[in-house]
């Protein structure tokens, strides 16, 4: 068989897999945002990437880096365009190390280690730190990057617990591991034949949660998580890892994140932060102890075997964090909170006015605490397309990113948005809803496979492992 025929055969296999995804209405594709579209989709919650003061500070840093007067200066990069290699070879710099010290200080952490992305940070951390015999317990909605890291790890078990469910409910006798609380999972672990190893502290348990969950916008009950872990793993061998990619910049007096806002810096073992959300840049880091930092430098493959961030990336992070640390983002944070509460109220008004079937449109009645507001609908692509045609960029979120029956559009609010823009988006959504009700779209029925409790089945919730 010729090489061309082999290539065509592979293309045929790949095409059939794409066709299968297309038939399920799950095919992904790359798109661009048309000029003039109002952004209700990106993760730049504080709009720092377009903040003039941050932009000017960043450009000043770049100009200073190439200025002849900086020749021989310790912090002057040898190359403005690239780092030259991995950090263990030629990609490290005094500027990178000073930035890490600055970030650790701002977040109240002993040390920090930069990665090229939060995904690299999660994969690097979870793949190398757990030792043989250790166990990783994770919220079932934990990010895909944590799943990737866990699959590469040497941990003996990976055990999920029900999303943000920490304590046992009275009379709960569910046998499903997916439905169990964190408390039930920990208690069950201690009751296993080798449970004494965990009770005595000889083996470690890593507990993975997020500060804010990106698809639902809800906030982890972190105080309860810490108290539960400390109660059942009293020897201090319960190591909590919080992914703060979506909570950094939003929570804390100066955007230090949820852990700092709650004063839990010394009770949470490690934090993973991404700079691509509220910080408005790119990259990630792990906040940890100096020993853990040194261990990651030696064992985290996503750090060792990749080219380090170039000076412009480091300078953008430094400029954004200087803005946050100086308290200059407080007005942006306040305005963002007004938008979040105002948007949620308008959505509730629309639902109360038209009482749509829950499968067609529904919004959680609970007061939101983050800029992410999910609007669940069985027709997410249709609703998103309608809003986009009206000039408002929202994205459809479908399975397997979320379980079947929990399809949605996700409204992401930003400090640069105005209440007038929010009102325009809600008006467009209401127009779509009226058209759908007139067409009788609600008669299509529910999409979710439900259990007796009315929740998506275990199989559907497990699809969260594919979340990206």
Note whether 223 and 348 are same-domain residues.
Answer: no
Cα distance between residue 118 and residue 244, in whole Å: 9
Confidence of residue 448 (pLDDT cuts 50, 70, 90): very low
With CA atoms as reference, report the closest residue to 350 among 395, 294, 411, 285.
411
Report pLDDT for 76: 57
Is residue 274 assigned to a domain? yes
Average confidence (pLDDT) over 372-399: 96
Helix (H) or strand (E) holding 318: helix 311-325
User: Which tokens belong to 334?
Assistant: 């306040």
CATH number at residue 235: 3.40.640.10
Structural domain harbouring 388: 330-466
Task: Say yes or no: 432 and 381 in one domain.
Answer: yes
375 and 413 housed in the same domain: yes
Domain boundary among 303, 325, 347: 325
Rounded mean pLDDT of the chain?
90
For 8-22, 92-106, 174-188, 225-239, which range has the lowest pLDDT when averaged over its residues? 174-188
Q: Are 358 and 294 within one domain?
A: no
SS3 467: coil
Same domain, 297 and 242: yes
* Angle at CA of residue 25, ends 20 and 27, nearest 5°: 70
Q: Tell me, what CATH number does 420's domain have?
A: 3.90.1150.10
Give yes or no for a contact between 404 and 457, defined as CB atoms under 8 angstroms apart.
Answer: no
C-beta separation of 246 from 199 below 8 A: no
172 part of a folded domain? yes
Distance of CA 174 to the CA centre of its chain: 29
Q: Indicate whether 30 belongs to any domain.
A: no
The secondary structure of residue 218, as a DSSP letter, is P
Nearest-angstrom CA–CA distance, 123 and 272: 10
Quote the pLDDT of residue 399. 84
Domain boundary among 262, 291, 325: 325
Predicted pLDDT of residue 243: 98
Decide if pLDDT at 103 tops 90. yes
CA–CA gap between residue 262 and residue 252 (Å, rounded): 8
Number of domains in the chain: 2
Residue 290 lies in a domain: yes
- Indicate whether 253 and 386 sit together in one domain: no
Quote the pLDDT of residue 465.
37
310 and 201 within one domain: yes
Alpha helices, H only, 252-355: 258-261, 290-299, 301-304, 311-325, 330-354
Residue where a domain terminates, one of 281, 306, 325: 325
Q: For 230-242, what is each residue's pLDDT tens digit?
A: 999 999 999 999 9
In a domain, 134, yes or no: yes
C-alpha–C-alpha distance, residues 224 and 232, integer Å: 12
Q: What is the pLDDT of residues 259-309, one digit of tens each?
A: 999 999 999 999 999 999 999 999 999 999 999 999 999 999 999 999 999
Taking the CA atoms of 36, 41, 44 and 47 in sequence, report the sign of the dihedral they define: positive
For residues 297 and 339, membership in a common domain is answered with no
Sequence length of the chain is 468
What is the rounded distance in angstroms from the CA atom of residue 78 to the CA atom of residue 66? 10
The answer to whether position 44 is within a domain reads no
Gap between the terminal Cα atoms of the chain: 38
For residue 212 the two structure tokens come to: 């804010």
pLDDT tier for residue 27 given thresholds of 50, 70 and 90: confident
Q: What is the pLDDT of residues 414-434, one digit of tens each?
A: 999 999 999 999 999 999 999
Q: Is 84 left (phi over 0), alpha (psi -120 to 50) or beta?
A: left
Residue 288 shares a structural domain with residue 367: no
Is 34 contained in some domain?
no
**320 HSE (CA, 13 A, CB side):** 29
pLDDT at position 182: 98
* Cα angle 217, 218, 219; round to 5: 125
Same domain, 116 and 220: yes
CA angle (192, 193, 197) in 5-degree steps = 85
Domain assignment present for residue 216? The answer is yes
Q: Are residues 348 and 438 in the same domain?
A: yes
Query: What gap in Å lies between CA 229 and CA 206, rounded to an integer?
Result: 10
- Say if residue 207 is in the same domain as residue 228: yes
């Amino acid at each position: 068989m010729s090489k061309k025929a082999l290539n065509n055969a592979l293309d045929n296999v790949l095409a059939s897999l794409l066709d299968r995804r297309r038939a399920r209405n799950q095919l992904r594709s790359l798109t661009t945002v048309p000029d003039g579209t109002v952004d209700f989709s990106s993760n730049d919650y504080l709009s720092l990437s377009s903040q003039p003061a941050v932009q000017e500070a960043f450009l000043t840093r770049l100009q200073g880096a190439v200025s002849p007067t900086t020749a021989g200066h310790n912090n002057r990069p040898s190359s403005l365009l690239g780092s030259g290699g991995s950090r263990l070879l030629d990609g490290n710099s005094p500027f990178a190390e000073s930035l890490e010290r600055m970030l650790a200080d701002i977040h109240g952490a002993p040390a920090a280690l930069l990665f090229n992305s939060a995904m690299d940070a999660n994969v690097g951390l979870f793949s190398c730190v757990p030792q043989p015999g250790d166990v990783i317990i994770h919220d079932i909605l934990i990010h895909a990057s944590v799943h990737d890291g866990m699959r590469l790890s040497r941990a003996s078990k990976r055990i999920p617990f029900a999303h943000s469910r920490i304590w046992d409910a009275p009379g709960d006798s569910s046998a499903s591991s997916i439905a169990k609380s964190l408390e039930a999972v920990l208690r069950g672990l201690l009751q296993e034949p080798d449970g004494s190893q965990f009770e005595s502290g000889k083996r470690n348990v890593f507990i993975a949660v997020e500060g804010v969950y990106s698809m639902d916008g809800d906030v982890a009950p972190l105080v309860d998580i810490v108290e539960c872990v400390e109660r059942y793993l009293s020897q201090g061998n319960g190591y909590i890892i919080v992914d703060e990619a979506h909570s950094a910049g939003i929570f804390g007096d100066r955007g230090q994140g949820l852990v700092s806002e709650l004063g839990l810096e010394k009770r949470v073992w490690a934090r993973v932060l991404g700079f691509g959300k509220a910080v408005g840049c790119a990259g990630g880091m792990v906040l940890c102890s100096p020993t853990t930092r040194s261990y990651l430098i030696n064992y985290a493959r996503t750090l060792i075997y990749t080219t380090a961030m170039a000076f412009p990336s480091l300078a953008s992070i430094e400029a954004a964090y200087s803005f946050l640390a100086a308290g200059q983002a407080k007005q942006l944070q306040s305005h963002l909170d007004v938008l979040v509460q105002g948007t949620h109220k308008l959505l509730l008004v629309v639902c109360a006015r038209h009482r749509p079937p829950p499968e067609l449109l529904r919004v959680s009645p609970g007061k939101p605490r983050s800029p992410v507001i999910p609007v669940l609908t069985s027709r997410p692509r249709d609703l998103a397309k309608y809003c986009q045609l009206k000039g408002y960029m929202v994205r459809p979120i479908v399975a397997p990113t979320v379980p079947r029956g929990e399809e949605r559009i996700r409204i992401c609010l930003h400090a640069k948005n105005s209440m007038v823009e929010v009102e325009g988006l809600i008006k467009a959504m209401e127009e779509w809803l009226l058209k759908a009700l007139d067409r009788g779209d609600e008669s299509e029925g529910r999409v979710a496979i439900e259990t007796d409790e009315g929740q998506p089945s275990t199989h559907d919730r497990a699809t969260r492992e594919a979340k990206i």
